[in-house]
Structure 1
């Protein structure tokens, strides 16, 4: 095969997985890093089972929502508005929009703080977090300016590759014993008091950051824009499996790196940025730099989708074309991107708030599952492609799991009051 043919084949293969890569970049951000690192540092690998179950549930939800769009040609918000009630669609737009605004502040705050701490290794006193936040906000907005999903996807493919490579490499440098990792697959709740973050709240946050409702709603938009039909169902499921597996690998690697270093030394963690200073005497500058680059890549990769989520939600809800080159969207996204400056500007420390916001996602999950259960079983919409009994059983399991973890998060919150 010629070099041109090889290049074409490689690009074609990559294109098949770009929607999944987009979802990985969206889902694995500084919220995930903070939550997984805190779980690993405070509880070792004891909560690894939560990640496994959450990623399995995420695969089912991605594949199910994607299949709905393959059959009907409608995005999730279109379907909520047309076939359930306009108020349901509006509820998701508002709830996810508020969550995204909080995420924009928290993500860039953590990225700026990580960059500041890391820069101290090379520059005396480091570079002020506000400058880092302004730089990364400008980079994200510059990439958004093109207005094309394909550009986002290809850039995210590079950023996600950097992020995943950094965290997996750090896993091999700092990993705990294999027996400890294997024990983490057995469901249990650590009985550890005296820490700022309750294990129950942490479990809810881990579930909320992995099984994120916005992920599944955005998935339908990506499937529709890709022009896939039911003939691509097999590819769609493969893409969903790729996204879920990579989410598990990256999340587990973050947890294991913290467990193999901080937890092993009896050092707890209240925020991921602490790992920059705490890891250096345990693992050396190389591991610190690798971890820092991974966190920065995670933050940047989630910032792109966060910027476009609200305009996409509004377009889907109103069934209008998603032309992000329109000035009204460019102005809107430019304004909300400034939220990334709030945390460093006011020297806030939003780590606990970030964990609470991730836990809040669990509240949206039962409604998200209930909607696809209803829509996916309607014969007038799905015809011969209605949910099988196995799919329905899986969705009911996810629904119950979300209720249980939501209750655990509520109990954890009460324990902290």
Structure 2
């Protein structure tokens, strides 16, 4: 009995010792893992310019810009549940989320192309967050403690202009006056970025899927994933061409130098989409008809503009006004940037045209217009599909062809 008792005591002692050892090891590992995770988060935070951003935030009073934690954004999106994805593109993935304050937000996981972008990311986002314009999506804050930095924007409910134009089949009409309003609002937003933001900002990826529509179908320019602060050094070049096929400025492709006139060219393509209801790039067409911009320039050069215009607006608007809108698009698509108008001039011309345009049904009030446009399919994503989302960041040699509209990019 004594030996048996001793055996039990030894067994119990060994078991307790093993349990204590396992518990101690587990606690030690958890502490190590927690410290390692904190170290990784700190490294990512520094890598994305978080320290500079933090210093800037401390030096300024009354900033509404917020640094979100990874846990906050995981909770807002259901741990980035695929069912909450509302858009995908070359610059990242966008999720719909709900904050602790029950506010709907759009959370974008970014893709950064260069080391310079990483180091300047936090500081640039702070500058972008200070933009307060009625036609630009508000940036609430960002998360820098992750491998892929995330941006938190105000959620815009009615999807994209791309979806409104190309997502409807035999749906209700989009009045020409509404198209002009959206174009004018977009031009005002880009003009503000170029001329009034401090420092000036070049968007770099203007397209219909980056123009969102709020509850009143007011345009909101979004997605500064490819945007850049205007360089103070005139000799500064970029090493990668960023943007979307069909909208890329041929001069930018040739020189690898992004300017405000690059945005003007891309806006010209957006204006064409509003006038024609055709996609900027359609891979199903013949080679010479793939690009809307090149097709338009050929047609207008042969005085065959009416062949391309959306039949709906031809029936409701005088050809003189439509020709003036098309002429503005042509000016935006000039091969040389110096020959293109500024976005301020574009906005002023669109404002003038909107006064000339007359809706034969009478100018609808905002409520009537919203009901009219709501007849279009309910948007499910921020980004279009069907071949248009060919956003790309790619190397381009200086000997590449200047005219992107004539042949497919490599």
TM-score (norm 1): 0.24
Structure number with the higher helix fraction is 1
Structure number with the higher strand fraction is 2
TM-score (norm 2): 0.25
Larger radius of gyration: 2
